[in-house]
């Protein structure tokens, strides 16, 4: 009986992680779609990703923002932002920095994958934040994608 209970808990845990990964993937895909949009559709507003809008997502020391690719889109009840940064830092230390700092800002780490890229997924209230970290030849790149449910 105890074995069955443990299996049931594992299954429930996998379902929760699966749901969060689907949400993370949606944020990623919405970001791809919005970053490729040339103009605004009716009822859609686009502005530069303002640091003041996402004050609880810190930018690691040593990183510089790529102003040309940052975007914030609000459509109906969702607000999505993408910020791109690069710097001469090690990818592993950058990933460790965010693992340490995000919980102090109220974010909960729900997924962490490392291979050629590191992907960290955080949640906070009605928000999700996906960090993509990739070490390049000269720079390490950080992509911050965040989405929040504005109403509802």
Number of domains comprising the chain: 1
- For tokens 């929040």, the residue is 148
Separation CA 119–CA 52 (nearest Å): 24
Q: Tell me the residue range of the domain where 94 lies.
A: 2-149
Domain of 43, CATH number, reads 3.40.1000
pTM above 0.85, yes or no: no
- For tokens 């504005």, the residue is 150
Sequential pLDDT tens for the chain (152 residues):
555 655 555 555 555 555 555 555 555 554 544 333 333 344 433 333 334 456 789 999 999 988 777 787 878 787 888 899 999 999 999 999 999 999 999 999 999 999 889 999 999 988 999 999 999 999 999 999 998 877 65
- Cβ neighbour number for residue 112 with a 10 Å cutoff: 14
């Amino acid at each position: 009986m105890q074995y069955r209970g443990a299996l049931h808990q594992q299954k429930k845990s996998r379902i929760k992680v699966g749901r969060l990964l689907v949400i993370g993937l949606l944020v990623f895909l919405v970001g791809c779609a919005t970053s490729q949009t040339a103009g605004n559709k009716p009822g859609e507003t686009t502005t530069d990703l303002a640091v003041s809008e996402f004050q609880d997502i810190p930018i690691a020391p040593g990183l510089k923002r790529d102003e040309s690719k940052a975007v914030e889109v609000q459509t109906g009840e969702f607000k999505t932002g993408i910020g791109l940064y690069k710097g001469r830092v090690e990818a592993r230390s950058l990933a460790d920095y965010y693992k340490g700092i995000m919980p102090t800002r109220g974010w909960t780490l729900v997924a962490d994958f490392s291979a050629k890229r590191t992907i960290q997924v955080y949640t906070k209230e009605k928000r999700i934040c996906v960090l993509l970290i990739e070490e390049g030849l000269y720079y390490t790149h950080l992509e911050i994608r965040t989405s929040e449910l504005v109403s509802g």
